[in-house]
Structure formats: structure tokens, C-alpha cells
Amino acid sequence: MLKPCERPMKMLKLEALSRRLSANHPKQERIKNDFRKIRTGFNGERSIGKELKDLPKEYRVFHDLRLDHAGSRYFQMDFLIITRNYCIIIEVKNFAGTLYFDRTYPQLIRTKDGQEQAYLDPLIQVDVQKSRLNDWLTFHKFPSLPIETLIANANSNTIIKTTPGFTPIFKKITGKETLITKIHTLEEKYPSEQLTQRQSTRLSNTILQKNTPHNPDILKLYQVDEQDLLKSVQCPECAALHMHYHWGKWSCSQCSYASKDAHIQTLRDFALLIKPNITNKQARLFLQIDSIDIMQRMLSALELPYSGQFKNRAYRLDGLIHE
């Protein structure tokens, strides 16, 4: 997999924001609900990603792409698979219950626990993605490629229905158990190579270079004041923000758990919520440490890239985010 499954930045930021706000903060409920939705979607994508690992190496698989369309806006694809003969866009759903693909008024209706909820028709979503990918290939001067689209549902217990007379749409819909079979079936439609090996490699490299992950300013998006963020190091065991540093380790005043590296998560939270670089002074304030020397040793031990000298030195925290 050329671009493997990684948790999206918004998911990481929402998780960090929730733990850095008090339990009774007015935005907590919305933040937790949004986090659960994104986590459910990502778990579905990760489940589908595991199935796609069984594809031969000539299938170049990219997860969670966000590409510039016509220089003005972006389009996103859960999975894009590139071969020298054709490519496939996969839209992933991770719904429980019954899914009804209504063709009378194109929409997806999910029924669960007696409750109905309507969603944008994913078949329309992938058609839009297909059109925009075609435009993107043309803009970047690549040969036109046949593009197939699939809807992959990651939940094995989902029941899928459609309007009577529209059963051909099931050619576009698959569960994770039949996904690879469905992909291999498509191979028979496209026996001719459209790309040379060199073109295929250049296309893969261009996709990776042009991919622009969604990275929102989470405090601005949820209108949270930086002053509302709780400081100090969080205990990995009980999640209390009551850890104190003494004799080379962090100790939790709530559960007595001890750790040598509990501060790494706190630095990661700073990078996700505030900015991707930090000075000694900013780190001391956020981790609630008084000693300049202790803070300097902690930051130096992480071997982070930095810029500036002495008190103006700023350490880059980007490398901690996906660890």
C-alpha cells in the first residue's frame, strides 16, 4: 500500500481537544460526538484496507487522498487503486442496520433500532469523484484511464436493499468479504495496458506529492479559546491531569502510576491543538514544569529538529503526531 491507513488529523485533534477540556465544557458533547463519527468511519476504512493488502503488488493502493480540483477546491477519496490498465475509486461506509438505496429520490436511507436517517447517495458521491479525478489526470497531463467506482460496506451484518427493478446497482456495491473478488472481476474488463511502467510510477509519485491532507485549525473550528485548554501531563493509566516530575519520572497523584515518557503525549497535544513547534518556555507552561534545565533535557532527549539558538530555540513536534 503506497499510502497506508493513518488516523486523519481531524480525528487526532478532536481526541486531543476532548482530553484537554474540562468534562463540563459546553463544547464537549459536540466534540465527542464528532470524534465518534470520524472514528467509526476510519475503523471501516481500516477494515477495508486490511482486505486490500491481499491485492498483488501491481495494484497501487492509496488511502484517504485529498487532491486539488481545477486549482480551486479539493475532492477526497477513501481509497484509490491504480493499475496500468485502469483504476478504482472506493467509497467506504461503516453502517450497521439496514441500508436502502432509494432510486426514486436518490439517497441512502439507514434504518437502525427503528429509526430512519437519510444520507447523501454514495453512488452520486463516487460519480462526482470519478469526474474530478478525470479532470485531475488531464490537468497533470496523464493519459485517460478507465475509472471504476465501488461502494464498500465494512460492516458484515448490514442488510442492503434497493428500489425494485434497480438491482444492477449491486454491481457497484460490495461487502468487505467480496471486495477482492469484485476487483478481480474488473480485471477482465480491461485487458489492455493504458500506462507504461514509467508513467505508472510518475502518476503514483505525483499523487503522493499533490495529496493535501485536511488539517483544520481545531480551536477555530469549534470556537474554543486556547485559555480553556487544561495544562499539565496526563496520566496514561487513569487519564488524570495530575502528574508530577521527580527524579527522572512522572508520578500520578491520583493513582500513583509512574512513567518516564508520559510527557510525549502532552507535547503531541500541544502540536495538534496549538502549533507544531514549541519553545522551552512554552513547554514548561504546558507541561507545568518550573525548571528550564529539566525541560531542556526532556526536549533534547527526543532528538527533535529545531531552529534558533538558546532561549529562542523552537523544537518541531510534527514527528510526534503519528507515533
Average pLDDT per consecutive 10 residues, the chain (323 residues; last block may be shorter):
93 97 97 97 97 93 92 90 97 93 91 92 95 94 95 92 88 93 91 94 97 96 97 94 91 94 96 97 96 94 90 91 77
Residue 38 has a pLDDT of 97
Contact between 182 and 150 under an 8 Å Cβ cutoff? The reply is: yes
- Long-range contacts: 159-165, Cβ < 8 Å, 24+? 159/97, 159/98, 159/99, 160/98, 160/99, 160/101, 161/98, 161/99, 161/100, 161/101, 162/100, 162/101, 162/102, 162/103, 163/101, 163/102, 163/103, 163/104
For residue 21 the three cell numbers come to 477540556
Coil/strand/helix, residue 290: coil
Residue 71 has a pLDDT of 66
pTM of the model: 0.92
Q: What are the phi and psi torsion angles at 39 (to 5°)?
A: -65, -40
Distance CA 100, CA 98 (A): 6
**Domains, in order of start, for the chain:** 9-210 (3.40.1350.10), 231-320 (1.10.10)
Widest pairwise Cα distance in the chain = 73
The amino acid occupying position 149 is T
What single string gives the DSSP state of each residue in 221-265? HTT--GGGS--SPPPTTT--S-EEEETTEEEETTT--EESSTHHH
